[in-house]
Amino acid sequence: MATEEKSLNFIEQIIEESLATGFPQDQLRFRFPPEPNGYLHIGHAKSICLNFGLGLKYNAPVNLRFDDTNPAKEEQEYVDAIKEDLQWLGFNWAEERYASDYFQELYDWAILLIKKGKAYVDSQSSEDMASQKGTPTQPGVDGPYRNRSIEENLTLFEGMKNGDFPEGSHILRAKIDMSSSNMLMRDPIMYRVLHKEHHRTGNDWCIYPMYDYTHGESDYIEQVSHSICTLEFVMHRELYDWFLDQIYDDTKVRPHQYEFARLNLNYTVMSKRKLLQLVQDNIVAGWDDPRMPTISGLRRRGYTPASIRKFCENIGVAKRENIIDYSLLEFCLRDDLNKKAARVMAVLDPVKVVITNYPEGKEELLDAENNQEDETAGYRKVPFSKEIYIEREDFLEVAPPKYFRLSLGNEVRLKNAYIIKGKSVVKDENGVITEIHVTYDEDSRSGSGSEASQRKVAGTLHWVSIAHAIPAEVRLYDRLFIDEAPDSHKEKSFLDFLNVNSLQLTTAYVEPSLATVKSGDKFQFQRLGYFAVDKDSSSSKLVFNKTVGLKDAWEEKGKKDNNSINNALKDINKYFKVATREERIAIRQAIGETLAGISNYSLLQNSFKKNINNNKASLLFSNFILKYAPLKSSDYDKEDLSKLYLMSLKSESTFVRSRALLNLSNLNYDLEFLNSFKEEVLKLQANPPKSSTVREKEFIEQFLNKL
């Protein structure tokens, strides 16, 4: 039991209070209740770590209970995948249970509620039911079947169970309060008719219980003491307690529901329905595609159980919703792999290097450290020869200032090998470099202790010997979406934000020590990132997945994009100060190039909205976003657009008015939208402001001629 109150999360505090007020510790029991209608994702990992972590902390059993009450969506495949994910994460459950284990008991309790006058069979259509249920501000009204006799309800419910009625013809509802302020209490559905085979009970049942009825009763059967759910179930707690009230025996433990904030991770989606759509539409190659946020996808990509557990520990358990940066998940992974992954050399985009003064036919084995973070990792032998591959991007014929790679006339060190100096290049008919010729310093071998070996040079490059290199397919994975919140935008599909570069294939060359790798093995390709052996790999064809880069490229890109926006805003101010049209055109083109290079939808949208104000520089900037940013006219809210254009047309600056008129004339707007500005433009034409120019008057004519 914890002793430091400040170190406890609020769920642990609740448990401590329960124990302090006399609840027996040996009666603590928890559960993890997934629905087997898809694979688990990183959001479920938070719940898994919380529930099973409580079990470990308090030495209490944790059940794995499958909420299998909807045979239309559930499959044994999902059950098996969930169990595999839990075990991979390092957790073991006390008992494997299923809601379907309790179908008979749940049915018997439903009969009891009917006999008590607290449940009835409703035969309305779903549309009629919805209308009589009311709204959040208007109470519902009793349906026409609410006062059926107990005998009729029992007969109908028995017929539902026996399969006498088609789907949708009848439902069983709890009789609670149609005027309750909590709409979930307005006679919720308990059972519906489904003529579908269940993955465990087959065709034994033609009716299936709803989640709200099943969940609390299942907790009660299993004697779960603390039933922990995510925040969307806060309003369900009243119903959870009502169903328990109908069956509770005070000689048993009564479960209590507590809610915590679910995990929201940027640059991804957490809806099982949307993840299933990605799979069914073949946008990804299955639930375990390494771009998916599923636990199986993360495992295949090369994530470790320890990194996911650490991530869940770092984000903590809170009562308020927040969005976690994907970079934190990647940081936890890098931190773990840095300690564990062996360092090897691989070249992803090779160019041939010939060491002209290295003896023909000579080969040697050089010592290479496996992992400098692990003293026990030892060394391996790496072959070296006259011809090697290096990364194409590691060479420039003419080096700019502060360039620390290979160039003509400059020296670099080859990792674990020698210092080389660029001498000349060979190019094909298209001017593409096919060979780089260098010389090496024979006395500069790493670790030899010679004076030359200790000479400092600007950079160190990784390489592989061509004679010994093994070709391998490398799958370069990146985030699946380019937007921070792909499913949060009105009138936009989350699929609109797919990253077209989320998977790129390349043939790489790797050092021969990787010849015998097996699926799941993890390595750091030096200077490139962390990579894992994919399950598609074989002895005849090695396949590696890029797990994560050595640095957070997305964070760097985010900072760069933010800086670009800020710098463009500064340039806008210059636009109003320069003396000539040529200077303004140059500034506008530079801003346009900057905006065209930003793909972050949310950043562009936020910058657009933020700058709709009475400042002339801000208004011009929002107009430039409309002109140059890679978004469609339909991506912007019509109210925001109207506000911007009306404010722009009333601006004191002819530059702002002119840009607004040009945008209205040249961007793809419908006639109705354009006509909404006709009156304001006619005012400009009739009473030109003092700052008006000949060009602005031409733009007015151009706009009016379009109507």
Closest by CA position to 223, among listed 113, 111, 97, 100 = 97
The pLDDT of residue 671 is 92
Which pLDDT band, with edges at 50, 70 and 90, does 557 fall under?
confident
Q: How many CB atoms lie within 10 A of CB 591?
A: 24
633 vs 151, residue with greater confidence: 151
Q: How many CB atoms lie within 10 A of CB 8?
A: 16
291 is a catalytic site residue: no
Segment among 117-121, 133-137, 555-559 with least mean pLDDT: 555-559
**Whether the predicted pLDDT of 375 surpasses 90:** no
CA–CA gap between residue 368 and residue 266 (Å, rounded): 39
Cα torsion angle, 544, 545, 551, 557, sign: positive
CA–CA gap between residue 208 and residue 107 (Å, rounded): 9
Which pLDDT band, with edges at 50, 70 and 90, does 1 fall under?
very low
- Which pTM does this prediction carry? 0.86
Options 35, 84, 105, 369, the catalytic residue: 35
35 is a catalytic site residue: yes
CA–CA gap between residue 313 and residue 324 (Å, rounded): 13
**Whether the predicted pLDDT of 442 surpasses 80:** yes
pLDDT in tens, 452-504: 999 999 899 999 999 999 999 999 999 999 988 999 887 789 999 999 999 99
Do 384 and 366 touch, CB atoms closer than 8 A?
A: yes
CA–CA gap between residue 698 and residue 707 (Å, rounded): 15
Say how far residue 336 (Cα) sits from the centre of its chain: 20
Opening angle at CA 517, ends 511 and 522, nearest 5: 90
- Mean pLDDT for 406-435 is 96
Q: In the chain, count of helices (H) and strands (E)?
A: 21, 29
The CB-side HSE value for 650 (13 A sphere, CA atoms) comes to 13
Options 31, 161, 173, 272, the catalytic residue: 272
CA–CA gap between residue 549 and residue 82 (Å, rounded): 28
pLDDT in tens, 34-90: 999 999 999 999 999 999 999 999 999 999 999 999 999 999 999 999 999 999 999
272 is a catalytic site residue: yes
- Mean pLDDT for 343-367 is 97
- Mean pLDDT for 215-232 is 97
Opening angle at CA 13, ends 8 and 18, nearest 5: 145
The pLDDT of residue 391 is 98
CA–CA gap between residue 590 and residue 624 (Å, rounded): 11
To the nearest whole percent, how much of the chain has pLDDT over 90?
87
CA–CA gap between residue 564 and residue 587 (Å, rounded): 14
3-state secondary structure of 66: strand
The pLDDT of residue 39 is 97
To the nearest whole percent, how much of the chain has pLDDT over 70?
99
- Mean pLDDT for 271-288 is 96
> How high does pLDDT run on average in the chain?
94
Do 657 and 622 touch, CB atoms closer than 8 A?
A: no
- Mean pLDDT for 651-676 is 93
Options 118, 196, 254, 262, the catalytic residue: 262
The pLDDT of residue 6 is 52
The pLDDT of residue 4 is 45
Please return the burial class of 317, using the count of CB atoms within 10 Å of its CB with bins 0-12, 13-18 and 19+.
Answer: buried
**Whether the predicted pLDDT of 3 surpasses 50:** no
CA–CA gap between residue 41 and residue 287 (Å, rounded): 10
Please return the burial class of 57, using the count of CB atoms within 10 Å of its CB with bins 0-12, 13-18 and 19+.
Answer: middle
pLDDT in tens, 624-662: 999 999 888 888 888 999 999 999 999 999 999 999 999
Q: Give strand pairing partners of 96.
A: 64
